[in-house]
Amino acid sequence: MANNFNTGDRGISAAQLAATVATNSAGSILGASSTALIGLWGTAAVDQPAAVTSLTDNSAGAATDTLQACPDPGDTPITADALRDDIVANLLPAIRNNFADLAAKMNTVISRLREPGVIDT
């Protein structure tokens, strides 16, 4: 067996290939370890991106694939003013913060997918 494998205009040694690609009964693994450097579609090779901490969902909401606007409650009847003020002061900021958390988490996931070139910038 040759010491280099043809990868277009570059050669890769058997040791480099073994450090990057592994096989098991389930198939081939690109990135034989978390420190193997991989770059896709012309991006710089990097090691495995850091994990993104899972978001704990205590919202009791339903996912619909759409972030919806949270309108302020109406002012009528007039006896509803105190309720409206409480909702605007307490509930809506919490809902908005939840949306901000989700947006930040999504942006982190997108960044981590872009780093090794899994998705384009």
Pairing of strands 21-24, 27-30: antiparallel
Q: Where are the alpha helices (DSSP H) in the chain?
A: 14-20, 81-86, 92-114
In total, the chain counts a number of residues equal to 121
The C-alpha atoms of residue 72 and residue 70 are separated, in whole angstroms, by 7
Phi/psi at 73 (nearest 5 deg)?
-60, 155
pLDDT at 85: 85
Contact 21, 29 (CB under 8 A): yes
Contact 22, 38 (CB under 8 A): no
pLDDT at 4: 47
Token code pair at residue 36:
């193997």
Domain parsing of the chain, residue ranges: 1-36, 49-121
Task: Give the burial class of 32: count Cβ atoms within 10 A of its Cβ; 0-12 exposed, 13-18 middle, 19 or more buried.
Answer: middle
pLDDT at 21: 75
pLDDT at 84: 84
pTM of structure: 0.61
pLDDT in 10s for each residue of the chain, 121 residues: 444 445 555 666 777 777 777 777 777 777 777 788 888 788 888 888 887 887 788 887 777 777 777 777 776 666 678 888 888 888 888 888 888 888 888 888 998 888 887 877 7
